[in-house]
Structures are given as structure tokens and as C-alpha cells.
Structure 1
Amino acid sequence: MTRRPSPRPVRVLCSALAAGALLTTAACSDGDGEDVARAAAVARQTPTPSPTTTLTEAGAKTALITEADIEDDWAQVTDSEVATWHDTMVIGTVDADDFLTGRTDAADCQRLLDGLYTDQLLGKPSGASALRGFQQDDSRLLYQVAAYERSDPQESLAWLKTLPQECDQFTVTDNGEKRTVQVIETSLPKVGDDRVGLRVTVKGTADGDPVTLTEDVAAVRVGNDAITVTAGGFDGDEDDSVEQAVKLGTQRLKDVLAGKSPAASPSEIE
């Protein structure tokens, strides 16, 4: 007499697959195992759903912060006003004689100033992007959300992290006028996949009087997307507002990428 094969191997296989949520209870029967093999094959062919979506122009605009997301009395300005916000204090040629390695370090510091002027600290976005500006007295805050899927935002963040050492203090010349620039590292909330904070001060003259421009800069990477914030003016630092923008703005971007609607107000974010 031919003995019926023991059902134990099938039960063991079914138990393991059921633990991985690959089969239904009906498939884990004492049958010949065909349903088990078929279900396992289907499970292997089913792709794992992505936790995020590609950032679109509409999504980038939705991820922008609002007046309610930052402290103090910031007021949102129009896009046409933002387009005129290129600060002439950061225009000029970096003096390579200030550096031990000359042209190499000077080029990095020049890249920083050019990025501040063009609002492209992380390079030109390769995908969707959106900007929003806010003003408070003589200070300005510019917030940007952008996709860099065809470039490398991490490389740009790594470069920014080197600047407090490479560009600690240097001189820039514009139309015969010399300005002193200092760069230091600042702390940011631990949000996103990576982040960097800087404070850039530029000392020079305006209308013959000595002035100091202070810009707090922040960049946060979320996957292949990133947010950048620059805030400041002649009134002093704006680090509190930048930290608030980074904290709540990063969560807004993550919500958009996850297909969720961002919280309507800061009080809704834990």
C-alpha cells in the first residue's frame, strides 16, 4: 500500500508564509501544496508600494510654509517682490589671497555668495520647485521647496558643511569696495534625512555708513527633495524663525510626499 505523504511539511511552509502575510487561511490547507506555491509566486511578483510620491509643481506649492508656521510678525509678500530680493551685499569677487590653498577655497566661497544671490544654494532644481517670501521690518525670509532627482542634493549639503572651516573669514571686493565675510555653523532641529545650518555675516558700508548683513541659512534633504531657507537683514539674526520654518516645513514636505494633506496650523503638528 502506498503511504500518504505526511502533511507536516506543508503545514510548516504554510505557517511561515502566513506569518509573512503572503497567504490566506484557505491556502494553508492539508492539500497538495499547489495553492501555496501559486500564492508565493504571486507575492514575489507584486512590487512593494513606494512610501512617497514624485514631487509635482502643485505639491511643491502645497509644501511651502505659511505665515502661521513661523514666529514673530512675518508677512507674506508677492512673487514679484521676491524676484527683486537679490542682495547686492553678497556681490563681488572673493580674494584668493585670504586662503592657504588659494583658488580652491576661494572658489567654494564664491559659490556660496553666488548661491545666496541666485537663491540656488543647492544648485538648480532638476524637477518641481516653489518659492515663498516673507518680510518683517527690514528682514526677509525666503523659503524654497525643490526636487533634485536628476542631481545630488546630498553632495550640495556635504559641501555646505565644509564652509565654516574653508570659508571661516574672507574678503570680497566689488567696484573697489572691500567687505569682510564670516561663515559659522548653526544648529537645526533633527529633521529630514540630512541637514545643515549656517550663519553668514557680511560687513561693509551702505551710503557711506558701516553696516552688517546677517543671513541665517538652512537646508534639509528629504529623499531627493529639499527645502532651503535664508533669512536675515541688517537688523540681526533670525535663527528662531529659521528653526521654526525648518521644523514645520520639513513635516509639510513629508506629508505631501506621502500623499497626505499638511496640517492646517502648527498646533496640529506634534
Structure 2
Amino acid sequence: MIRHPPRAARFLALALAAGAVLATGACSNGSDAATSTSSRSAKTLTQGEAETALINATDLEGNWTRVNDAATWRDSLPIGKVDAAQFFTDSKTTAADCQKLLNVLYGDALLGKPSGASAVAGFSGGSDGARMLYQVADYDRGQLDSSLAWLKTLPVKCDQFTVTGKDGSTRTAQVIETSLPKAGDSRQGLRLTLQGPVGGKPATLTLDLAAVRLGTNAIAVTNGGLGGTEADSTQQAVTLGTQRLKDVLAGKTPGQHDPALKDRAWR
């Protein structure tokens, strides 16, 4: 007569076997993800590669022209002090985050200071006279992740706040989240609106902010102006810019992309 193991023993054996399969699958998935990410992260951009990864005016629809004075661009509306008293909870911390946003915009450092190569291109024009600042750079991975995580908190922390300018004038600010094409390893989109006086007259500054991480490298886009922002151009810059950066990281020469990419929705 055949003797079967006790039911408890059989159950334990099955449980151990299932656990082993799950553990193997988990290790395999984690390894694949780690390999994929590390293969990209291991590539450090040279200065020449960062410049090659920049988009061109032809990548953007509309009357965009590349300019050489982007480093001198400074909007006056973001300059001012955020008062902590206007926030109900975590007032000092929240005010500091909103102040940091204004500071990094004025300093053209949306993702913080790059740790390696960095290249910037400026474009003006568009249908509403907007301006776009486009940056490709290599960062410390921890800093890059922290910067993206910080940007993600701003639509809640800084959804509405006021700024006092050096002349005592008051500006009203609003931050909302915007969707970006599914590009890169991670991404974050925001829209900042600032209302206040410019030259003694009421004005509204609207800026689209976009950041996309690819390994330890990232692109950052600031697009807009007093005439509004062109969301389509921001989307195009993110989509085609990420592809150019991928090409450069893979050792390829960025080529001409299908024009349909400019109009397709990656959502």
C-alpha cells in the first residue's frame, strides 16, 4: 500500500515551492529593471553629446526661432518674497517650497545644478510670442529623483499663493499639474500662472514646466510668456527631445523623425 505524506507536510512543501517560484520571478523582474536602468545610467553625457541632444527650431511647430541670448532672459514677475503667513499648515515649509520654485525659475535651474555636462537652447516666437528654454544635462541620480519628487508636490503645496515684489506690489500665483507624453523613465509637468503689475499695468505670466528623466540624464523645458503658453510646443519638445537624448545615449546620430510625432497624443 502506498503511504502518502501527512496533509500538513504536503501543504508545507507546496507553499515552499510556490514561494520559490514567486521569489525567482521577483528577482528576475527586479534584475531586468535594474539592468535596463543601469545600462542607461552608466552613460555619462559629454559636453558635445549634450549639445547634440538639444532640439532644433524645426522640431517645433509654429514660428519658433533659436536665439543666442537665452542666458539673459529674466522675467520680473517671479521676483519677490512668499509670505508664510498665508498658509494654514506647515506654513514655513510650504512657503519655502513655493519660494524655491520661483528661485529656480529665475536661475534657470528647474532640476537643480547639473553634476556633469549641460547644454541649453533658447527659442522665441511661437504664435503668441512665447519663449522656450530647453536644457539637457547629466545629474546626480539621487538629486534628480529628489527634484522630480519635489516638483510633484507643488500643485498641492503651492496651488495658490501670493508674492510680494521689491516695489511692494502683490502678485497672485497658481500651480497646477499638467500631463506629459509618456517619455523617459519618469516625468513631471506643471503650469505656473503669475498675475501682477508689469510697468504699471496688469499682466499675466503663464509658464509650462516639464522635466523628463532618462537614467541619470534629464531634459527640462520652460515655455511661455505674457501672451500665454503653447502646450503643443511643450509636448513636442518633450517627445522629440527625449528621443534625441535616447539616440545620443545609444551612440546614434539623431535623425529626422516622423512629422506625425508632433501631432500624436502620448497620454
Q: TM-score, normalised by structure 2?
A: 0.79
SS in 2 for 1:115: helix
Change over 3 Å in CA distance of 1:146–1:74 after alignment to 2:
same
- CA deviations over 1:75-94 (Å, ceiling 9, x no partner): 0001xx11110211111110
How far apart are the structure 2 equivalents of 1:71 and 1:99? Answer: 40
- 1:72 is displaced (CA, Å) by 0.9
- In structure 2, the partner of 1:193 is 185
RMSD of aligned alpha carbons: 1.9
Q: Which runs of 4+ in 1 moved over 4 A?
A: 48-52
1:82 aligns with 2:70: yes
What are the ranges of 5 or more consecutive residues in structure 1 without an aligned counterpart? 1-47
- Distance in 1 between residues matched to 2:142 and 2:188, nearest whole Å: 18
| 1:253 is the counterpart of 2:245 | yes
The answer to which of 50-59 and 101-110 deviates more is: 50-59
Show the counterpart of 2:116: 127
Number of aligned pairs? Answer: 221
Which of 185, 199, 217 matches 1:207? 199
AA matched with 2:143: D
- Counterpart among 212, 219, 230 of residue 220 in structure 1: 212
Q: Does 1:164 align with 2:162?
A: no
Q: Distance in 2 between matches of 1:213 and 1:106?
A: 20
**Aligned counterparts of 1:231 and 1:104: Cα–Cα separation in 2:** 27
Q: 1:268 to 1:102 in 2, by over 3 A?
A: closer
Deviations 1:19-57 (A, max 9, x none): xxxxxxxxxxxxxxxxxxxxxxxxxxxxx9946632110
What residue number does 1:117 align with? 106
Please say if 1:58 is aligned against 2:48: yes
Secondary structure, counterpart of 1:184 in structure 2: strand
Deviations 1:161-215 (A, max 9, x none): 0000000010111121110010000010000000000000000011221100000
Q: Is 1:53–1:259's contact at 8 Å kept on the other side of the alignment?
A: no
- Report what 2:22 is aligned to: none
Letter in 2 for 1:92: G
Return the offset for 1:152: 2.1
- Match of 1:3? none
Match of residue 104, structure 1, among 73, 76, 93? 93
1:227 and 1:87 map into 2 onto residues whose CA distance is 21
2:140 matched to 1:152?
A: no
Report the structure, 1 or 2, having the larger helix content.
Answer: 2
What is the alpha-carbon distance in structure 2 between the residues aligned to residue 110 and residue 132 of structure 1?
25
Partners in 1 of 2:253 and 2:178 — Cα distance?
A: 31
Q: 1:126 touches 1:151 (CA, 8 Å); kept in 2?
A: no
Tell me the equivalent position of 1:262: 254
Supply the distance in 1 between the matched residues of 2:240 and 2:141 (Cα, whole angstroms). Answer: 26
Give the TM-score taking structure 1 as reference length. 0.78
Give, in angstroms, the shift of residue 225 of structure 1: 0.6
1:178 counterpart = 2:186: no
CA radius of gyration, larger in:
1
The separation in 1 between residues aligned to 2:48 and 2:205, in whole angstroms, is: 34
Whether contact under 8 Å (1:220, 1:246) holds in the other structure is yes
